[in-house]
């Protein structure tokens, strides 16, 4: 069991905060350069908003990044020990001329200001002894990409605590070969309320994408702040629509953002891969229609009316996900089989079919899983909203929301977080190579993938803490020749969001790996997040992968993913698109919110880490299992949809469903949907299994507990609490 540092609170910190603000009024953070360097030492803070790390953090509210966010009311603080350090990555090697430190009352008495070109080997720029805190500027001379304060003696019995640390550079610093910023590429459509023929633009893209389930088109609509009258933005495959305001109400559609299922004869179960984000919608008829299935996030939306989740005619539907959204009216799921809603507000919720799960949702219905579909948690234990692109004046920036604990309701307005200018991103456009992408990352840039399909002949390596990898328009990464698509090092705060990984025809060992096997560093203050990152094996063509996603980092958050071994499309067959494992979790204290994993040859989810938690899980077993022998292991018929390893002592999950549709051999009787160790620390809430029309059966729900499924009647078998 790891210990967590406790925060200190009370009048002392409030008084220090007020004193620090007062000090900033009279003592500017800008470095006062020596006369000889007056023309070359930049008064701007080159460290603001840059990725930061520290030897330790006192608590989750005093992270390293808080000392570089330009906010004098937030701070980094360390454990109560010596030595401690705070480090920032400038992105490129720069000539350094000044460093400012604005100490909280817990100051450093003796410390060194250091620089490094590689983050490993350090040169001391200045040694300070006998300091007394406050705000102080230091002239320095040297170069480096990384700058740190290395404290050797504290001035108080507390840790080291900095409101802000600023770094100043000269005009002669080097720049990397990959340039940040630039235009957003050919498949991003930026509009404002005065854009001519705006409805036609939406209609033209929709006509192309409406039924292009496995097509190559990728599109992102970006709406500048303002009011859009009379628009119906119909959203097809691989199309995203997003507002460019800092808050949803900055961009308002007096009309509709619509997903329906006319292309599939009123069946919405294949309305995948599209999104809407950061908008306000006032529906033309009072209710917006969002009839979707998996991999369709509805985030940060204000619906000034109701929301209908079923297609016209109330045909089948199998979704879905809402987060950080406010629906003033009633949400009507109708034919939706399952749904997860997180950290939102609803005016009402009318019904549900099998599994409707809520966490942190104001207005959510009460739990009634014994007799109905609802599982409701009052709060979400840990959450952090997805990064998003916005306009600050005429400048594009990416807003990176901060972590919330025990969240309830929307995060906006005034969402806590930081902004990163677009020039600190490599804007990846179709034709970019994996070598250039890796070079940009090594240079310290973040990644913004514009809509397109990107073939990778080498693995994308994300090694820097707090790197943002953000996709627009379901940008798609395809690993070629059996390489892995992406590896993320075991570092703090990487944000992966908004892209699709499509397995290639040569087997990859692991499409996405987060963390390093065997490591257990504490990332609780600044966890890595994976949000709206989708995995596909087959469907668009043959695809192969032994492992789809492996999470080795502790404290990671997996927030809305669909990990899918295709059951239809091109290149589909028991061995043609073989993929043994969907999600494998080896890290401790990992949280999954909105987990959709389907059709894998072996385990869909295999959880080996301690203290894992899942809120909502949707699964279908592989349709194409040829017979019971093909899925029999250890004397058990069928691999569990969700398996917790026998060695795990603590695990908890809520609102989990697994469905079987063994069309290749309807006679398969799977032993159970869920397999967990029988120990007091492992608790499962609200589980169900279903036979879809009698194509295969489950003998039990979890282990040997729960009634068998009910023949051809498609009625759930449930267990409300286990053990």
In order, the DSSP letters of 37-53 are: GTTTB-SS-TTTT--EE
Q: Which of helix, strand or coil describes residue 251? A: strand
d(CA 695, CA 666): 4
Question: Contact, 621 vs 597, CB < 8 A?
Answer: no
Backbone φ and ψ of 199, nearest 5°: -60, -40
Sign, CA dihedral 677-608-499-537, equals: negative
In order, the DSSP letters of 691-722 are: ESTTSSEEEEEETTBSPPP-TTS---EEEEEE
CB atoms within 10 A of CB 629: 10
CA 47 to the chain's CA centroid: 25
The answer for residues whose C-beta is within 8 angstroms of residue 26's C-beta and 6 or more apart is none
Active site residue 461: no
CB atoms within 10 A of CB 36: 8
The answer for residues whose C-beta is within 8 angstroms of residue 189's C-beta and 6 or more apart is 201, 205, 219, 220, 221, 222
Burial readout 293-310 (b: 16 or more C-beta within 10 A, e: otherwise):
bbbbbbbbbbbbbbbbbb
Question: Contact, 288 vs 281, CB < 8 A?
Answer: yes
Which residue in this structure is represented by tokens 């019995």? Answer: 157
Which residue in this structure is represented by tokens 């892995």? Answer: 484
Per-residue tokens: 40: 């070359």
Q: Give, in order, the Cα–Cα distances in Å from 412 to each of 24, 171, 296, 343, 393.
A: 28, 39, 21, 11, 20
Question: Contact, 484 vs 462, CB < 8 A?
Answer: no
Question: Contact, 553 vs 529, CB < 8 A?
Answer: no
* Continuous segment of H or E residues that includes residue 488: strand 486-488
Question: Contact, 235 vs 276, CB < 8 A?
Answer: yes
Per-residue tokens: 511: 């499409």
Residues shown for the chain: 723
Which residue out of 58, 104, 304, 620 is catalytically annotated? 620
d(CA 158, CA 428): 45
* Continuous segment of H or E residues that includes residue 15: helix 11-26
Q: Which of helix, strand or coil describes residue 645? A: coil
Q: Give, in order, the Cα–Cα distances in Å from 397 to each of 389, 403, 446.
A: 6, 19, 12
Helix then strand then coil, in percent of the chain rounded to 5, is 10, 45, 45
Burial of 413 (0-12, 13-18, 19+ CB in 10 A): exposed
CB atoms within 10 A of CB 196: 7
Catalytic positions, written as ranges: 620
């Amino acid at each position: 069991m790891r210990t967590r540092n406790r925060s200190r609170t009370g009048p002392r910190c409030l008084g220090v905060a007020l004193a620090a603000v007062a000090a900033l009024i009279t003592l500017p953070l800008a470095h006062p350069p020596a006369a000889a360097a007056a023309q070359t030492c930049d008064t701007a803070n080159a460290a603001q908003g840059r990725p930061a790390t520290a030897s330790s953090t006192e608590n989750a509210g005093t992270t390293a990044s808080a000392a570089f966010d330009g906010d004098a009311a937030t701070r980094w603080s360390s454990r109560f020990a010596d030595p401690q350090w705070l480090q920032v990555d400038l992105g490129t090697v720069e000539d350094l001329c000044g460093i400012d430190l604005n100490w909280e009352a817990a100051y450093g008495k003796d410390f060194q200001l250091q620089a490094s070109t590689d983050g490993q080997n350090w040169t001391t720029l200045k040694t300070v002894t006998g300091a007394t805190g406050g705000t102080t500027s230091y002239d320095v001379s040297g170069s480096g990409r990384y700058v740190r304060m290395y404290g050797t003696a504290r001035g108080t019995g507390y840790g080291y605590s900095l409101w802000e640390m600023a770094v100043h550079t000269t005009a002669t610093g080097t720049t990397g070969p990959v340039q940040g910023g630039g235009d957003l590429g050919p498949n991003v459509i930026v509009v404002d309320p005065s854009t001519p023929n705006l409805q036609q633009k939406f209609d033209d893209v929709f006509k192309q994408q409406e039924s292009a389930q496995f097509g190559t088109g990728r599109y992102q609509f970006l709406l500048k702040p303002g009011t859009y009258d009379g628009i119906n933005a119909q959203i097809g495959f691989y199309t995203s629509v997003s507002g460019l305001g800092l808050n949803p109400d900055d961009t308002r559609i007096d009309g509709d953002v619509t997903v329906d299922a006319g292309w599939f004869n009123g069946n919405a179960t294949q309305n995948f891969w599209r999104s809407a984000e950061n908008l306000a919608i006032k529906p033309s008829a009072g209710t917006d229609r969002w009839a979707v299935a998996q991999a369709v996030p509805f985030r940060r939306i204000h619906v000034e009316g109701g929301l209908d989740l079923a297609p016209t005619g109330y045909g089948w539907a199998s979704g879905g996900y809402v987060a950080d959204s406010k629906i003033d009216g009633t949400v009507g799921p109708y034919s939706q089989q399952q749904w997860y809603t997180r950290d939102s507000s609803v005016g009402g919720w009318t019904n549900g079919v099998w599994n409707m799960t809520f966490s942190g949702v104001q207005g959510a219905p009460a739990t009634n899983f014994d007799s109905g579909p609802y599982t409701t948690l009052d709060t979400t234990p840990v959450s952090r909203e997805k990064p998003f692109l916005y306009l600050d004046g005429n400048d594009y920036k990416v807003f990176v929301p901060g972590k919330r604990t025990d969240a309830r309701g929307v995060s906006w307005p005034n969402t806590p977080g930081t902004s990163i200018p677009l020039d600190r991103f490599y804007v990846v456009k179709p034709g970019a190579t994996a070598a250039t992408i890796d070079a940009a990352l090594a240079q310290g840039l973040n990644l913004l993938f514009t809509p397109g399909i990107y073939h990778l002949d080498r693995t994308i390596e994300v090694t820097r803490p707090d790197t943002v990898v953000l996709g627009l328009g379901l940008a798609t990464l395809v690993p070629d020749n059996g390489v892995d698509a992406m590896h993320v090092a075991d570092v703090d705060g990487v944000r992966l969001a908004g892209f699709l990984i499509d397995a290639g025809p040569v087997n990859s060992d692991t499409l996405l790996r987060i963390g390093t096997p065997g490591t257990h560093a504490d990332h609780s203050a600044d966890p890595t997040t994976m949000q709206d990152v989708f995995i596909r094996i087959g469907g668009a063509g043959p695809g192969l992968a032994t492992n789809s996603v492996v999470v080795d980092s502790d404290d990671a958050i997996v927030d809305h993913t669909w990990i899918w071994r295709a059951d239809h499309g091109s290149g589909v067959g028991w061995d043609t698109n073989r993929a043994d494992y969907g999600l494998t979790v080896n890290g401790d204290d990992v949280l999954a919110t909105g987990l959709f994993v389907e059709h894998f040859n072996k385990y869909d989810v295999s959880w080996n880490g301690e203290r894992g938690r899942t809120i909502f899980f949707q699964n279908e077993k592989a349709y194409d299992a040829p017979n019971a022998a093909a899925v029999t292991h250890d004397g058990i018929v069928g691999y569990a949809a969700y398996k917790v390893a026998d060695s795990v002592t603590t695990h908890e999950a809520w609102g989990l469903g697994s469905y079987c549709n063994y069309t290749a051999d309807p006679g398969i009787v799977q032993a159970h949907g869920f397999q967990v160790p029988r120990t007091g620390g492992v608790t499962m809430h609200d589980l169900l299994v279903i036979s879809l029309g009698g194509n295969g059966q489950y003998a039990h729900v979890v282990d040997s507990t729960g009634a068998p499924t009910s023949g051809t009647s498609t009625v759930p078998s449930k267990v409300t609490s286990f053990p």
